Amino acid sequence: MQGRNARAAPSNSSEIEHVLLAPGAKCGDTSAMLKIDLTGRRALVAGVADDGGFGFAIAKALAEAGAKVCVGTWPPALGIFQTLLRRGKLDASRKLADGTLLDFEKIYALDAAFDTFDLVPEDVRENKRYRELGDFSIAGLAAQLTNDFGAQPLDIVVHSLANGPEVKKSLLETSRRGYLDAIGVSAYSMVSMVQRFAPLMKRAGAFVSLSYLASQRVMPGYGGGMSAAKAALESDTRVLAFEAGRKYGVRVNTISAGPWASRAASSIGIDIDAMVDYASSNAPLTDPMTADEVGNAAAFLVSPLASGITGTTLYVDKGYHAMGKAVDPRHTPDGDPGRGDAKTS
């Protein structure tokens, strides 16, 4: 559930220093802090086209931790994104903790529906939003990265991509083509990216993708094969962690993020605000989830602090995934979770 945030949410990434206290250290003892330090590392975040989605939040968190950040943007959104950046419309969102602005090292055109340029249909190649962009396939992006930065240009790859052309349809109404397109762009593109980018990564590099609880639970309205795509993404994460770990020494994880009031989520016809409110009301932690929390979790997962973590689905949803029963709306923090009525002394 990604895209531009459709409603105001507190931004805390500029207020959070990416540090953890070492065991036994006291608060205020900065010499004993374990820092999320990505200085000298280069990240590619695939799927950034505005300042409101999880991809942008992850890119910002990586930059806060010292990484150089390149992004891949869907060609139909590329021109608008570049215009917004050029005119300073995203400057407030780009502001980092030190007062500087998040600066993308490179912005590449990327359509992850295509592994190689020869697979792109002629009508797409000649489309006005594509024809001047060169090779916008996954393999084309790999070639551009090596041309721009050398033989092993990457340390971090973030897959923030999802699309299902029939997502508004129930599974019973979904066509074979729509189902396979959802799997291809939302799940197989991660396989393709690991195939082509893992050889370009320094040893101990890290991949992270974005999933959603629909992979494990029924989410009415999230149709068109997208639930299967997220399930495939999580399954592939485990297999890729083994295969790419043995072959290239890289780690592969995914983050299952809670529902987020984004432009993309709103566009598929789901009452996303109701979903956000429902999750918040029924999660162990009831304060609203923010995109920055997903960004900070991703920064940790790709950092040396997570060097022992791979093949994992990390839930960043305030614990909502752990619940098996809706909470009675009458329940208060002092009440009985099972009955929903407040206790009296």
Active-site residues: which are they? Answer: 212, 222
3-class secondary structure per residue, 50-71: CCCCHHHHHHHHHHHCCCEEEE
Is 270 in a helix, a strand, or coil? coil
How far is 179 from 124, CA to CA, in rounded Å? 20
How far is 78 from 69, CA to CA, in rounded Å? 16
CA 342 to the chain's CA centroid:
39
Identify the bridge partners of residue 34 per DSSP, sorted by sequence position: 20
List, in order, residues 6 or more apart from 36 with CB less than 8 Å away. 18, 19, 20, 65, 299, 300, 303, 305
* 52, two tokens: 């409101």
* 332, two tokens: 């208060």
- Strands of the chain (E only): list them: 19-21, 33-35, 42-46, 68-73, 106-109, 154-159, 201-211, 251-257, 313-316
- The pairing of strands 19-21 and 33-35 is antiparallel
3-state helix, strand, coil in the chain (%, to 5): 40, 15, 45
CB distance 104 to 70 below 8 Å: yes
* 282, two tokens: 């029924």
Helix (H) or strand (E) holding 247: helix 226-248
Kindly report the CA angle at 189 between 184 and 194, in degrees rounded to 5? 150
- Residue 253 class from Cβ within 10 Å (0-12 exposed, 13-18 middle, 19+ buried)? buried
